[in-house]
Amino acid sequence: MTNYQILITKDHPLYAKIVERGINYLNYGKFPSAPNVIELCLLDKVKKRQLWESLKDKCILADLSCHNGDALIEEFPQVQGALASAFPSPKQACEYWSKTAAATELLLQFFKKCDIVGVAVDSPGIGFIYPRIISMIINEAYFAREDQVATAQAIDQAMRYGVHYPAGPFALAQKIGSKSIVALLDELAASTGDLRYQVCQQLREESLC
Amino acid sequence: MNIHKVLVAGAGTMGQGIAQWFAQQEIAVELLDVDETFAHSASAKIYASWDRLQERGKFSQQQVASFKTRLKVVNSNTVCPEQDLLIEAIVENLAVKKKFFRTMQEKLVTSCIFASNTSSFPMTDLCGDLPAVRRAKFLGLHFFNPATIMKLVEVISGQWTPHQLAQDFIAWFTEQKKIPVLCKESPGFIVNRVARNFYGEALQIAHAEDREKFAQIDRVMEEVGGFPMGPFRLMDLIGIDVNYQVTQSVWHAFNDAPRFAPHPLQKTMVASAQLGKKTGVGFYRYD
């Protein structure tokens, strides 16, 4: 018996794994009865807020891969932990942050069920670490293709064999999904006001398909 | 494509590696440097590397003996004019490179293909002073360090590079078990452009000099991202000054686009001579 329930949207990269492993979950829209909720919903900031408001009496451990986690956690004290599982790792690992030992325990239980290694960080920041760096690399790869510097295949090969990236940026983008990458870059732009987070047009168009 | 004789100019790290790799393909290599003593010292290092590789069983005694006969140090007076390919890997300075190509244009046969291993300058700028016949045989061949091990070669087409010439090199390098990729001349080409934010965004996250944060970011990029080395460890290895210089060069080439802007921390580290492993201190300490 676990004292948490997973609430997930079908477009989350962990959805298939959770279903395949027979792990109990609730689809987004259902109301969890357990006191602790691992919330893996790919939602914009407004919908995320609405969801958390509806879960006011719960302890929430939320996927904050695409959000300004630091700001949201301050606003919603019931968020006791966060994870970056919307950005699948080539090493089956996931960054997480937790406020309490109990939250850590719950997250580690969840990771074990999914056969994921948890890597603790001191704060979720905006989009944790891996999602943020990889999104910027992918964005630049799209800019390079847009400028016709090389094909996507050539760019992927160059990054794998020139600097030993575990996978090319386009291959990674396909695994992560352009929607999450664009959501994170937009969040970084909105939170920092920095023009460095401008999204490549082709990437944005792909995210709208 | 027939490549039997190659002139490698510049006996620094890249020139040395390129010369060694070509000799290992059973191609006659002449190694040229403005400082002939330096070129001899580079040649001695290549010989020592082959001896080590022979001891480890990577090459046979016969192979190594053959490689050694194919590598020759030359000076500007003894360069053989009959070359199939010239690869320039001299100092990364546009004026110096252009002058070098003008000099070589006088010395080498017109059938010789001219290539640059530059990591930053457009081919069109490098060959702009050369006659049309040379410009039509000019391209970028960007190797990665160490050239004998790293499989990637960026094959860069300039404004005057015939498509077929670039394609011929793609086919030739593929035959030699390299992984060539075709790219258009553009600041940083592929790798040095796309990789900029591996460092840049890591610096944005760290924000300030905080060794614990550097270690955390490195750990995440290695353990979650699957990168062989985290951004701070890698910058320390490359040299923070070298990385800063490449960042600045790409940033300026893109008209100071914000997404390439160097982080103030890079400037501070360089100004305080914390350049990484080579100075014993960088983002980490190496006591």
Q: Are strands A79-83 and A93-98 parallel, antiparallel or unpaired?
A: antiparallel
Average of per-residue pLDDT across A161-173: 97
The domain that holds A203 is classified in CATH as 1.10.1040.50
**Residue A1 banded pLDDT, cuts 50, 70, 90:** very low
Q: Show which of A120, A155, A183 is a domain's final residue.
A: A120
Which among B194, B224, B216, B206 has a CA at the least distance from the CA of B263?
Answer: B206
Task: Tell me, yes or no, if B145 is annotated catalytic.
Answer: no
Residue A160 is part of which domain span?
130-207
pLDDT score recorded for residue A32: 93
Give CA torsion, residues B263, B264, B270, B275, to 10 deg. -50
Q: Is the CB of B191 less than 8 angstroms away from the CB of A159?
A: yes
Do A17 and A108 have their domain in common? yes
pLDDT at A71 over 60: yes
pLDDT for A27-64, tens place per residue?
Answer: 999 999 999 999 999 999 999 999 999 998 999 999 99
Whether residue A116 lies inside any domain: the answer is: yes
Question: Do A102 and A13 sit in the same domain of this protein?
Answer: yes
Flag if A119 and B219 touch (Cβ within 8 Å).
yes
In a domain, A125, yes or no: no
B272 is catalytic: no
- Tally Cβ neighbours within 10 Å of residue A104: 18
pLDDT digits (tens, 9 = 90+) for A148-157: 999 999 999 9
Q: Residue A16 is part of a domain; what is its CATH number? A: 3.40.50.720
pLDDT at position A65, please? 97
**B119 an active-site residue?**
yes
Question: Which of the listed residues A100, A120, A140 is the one where a domain comes to its end?
Answer: A120
Domain count, chain A: 2
Sorting pLDDT into bands at 50, 70 and 90, what band is A165?
A: very high
> Of A120, A146, A166, which one is at a domain's C-terminal end?
A120
Does the pLDDT value for residue A7 go beyond 60?
yes
Report the residue from B181, B197, B226 with minimal CB separation from A166.
Answer: B226
Give CA–CA dist A138/B195, Å, rounded: 10
Backbone Cα Rg of chain B: 20
Chain B neighbors of A150, CB-CB under 8 A: 181-184, 190
Average pLDDT over residues A125-145: 98
Q: Of A93, A90, A39, which is closest to residue A69 (Cα–Cα)?
A: A39
- The rounded Cα B134 to chain-centroid distance in angstroms is 22
CB B191 within 8 A of CB A159: yes
Q: Are A149 and B184 in contact (CB under 8 A)?
A: yes
Name the residue with tokens 């850590």. Answer: A104
How many angstroms separate the Cα of B125 from the Cα of each of A23, B101, B106, B130, B203? Answer: 60, 11, 19, 10, 32
Instruction: Give the number of A-B residue pairs with CB atoms closer than 8 Å.
Output: 138
Q: Give the Cα separation of A141 and B197 in Å (integer).
A: 11
Residue A159 sits in the same domain as residue A200: yes
Residue B135, both tokens: 């410009």
What is the reported pTM?
A: 0.93
Tell me, what's the pLDDT at B111? Answer: 96
**Per-position pLDDT tens, chain B of length 287:** 899 999 999 999 999 999 999 999 999 999 999 999 999 999 999 999 999 999 999 999 999 999 999 999 999 999 999 999 999 999 989 999 999 999 999 999 999 999 999 988 899 999 999 999 999 999 999 999 999 999 999 999 999 999 999 999 999 999 999 999 999 999 999 999 999 999 999 999 998 888 999 999 999 999 999 999 999 999 999 999 999 999 999 999 999 999 999 999 999 999 999 999 999 999 999 98
Best CA proximity match to B49, nearest among B38, B59, B39, B36: B59
pLDDT classification of A2: cutoffs 50, 70, 90: low
pLDDT value of residue B120: 80
H or E stretch covering B18: helix B13-24
Active-site hit among B154, B157, B249, B263: B154
For B168, residues 6+ apart whose C-beta sits below 8 A from its C-beta are B1
pLDDT band at A209 (very low <50, low <70, confident <90, very high): confident
Alpha-carbon torsion, ordered A112, A116, A117, A123, to 10 deg: -100
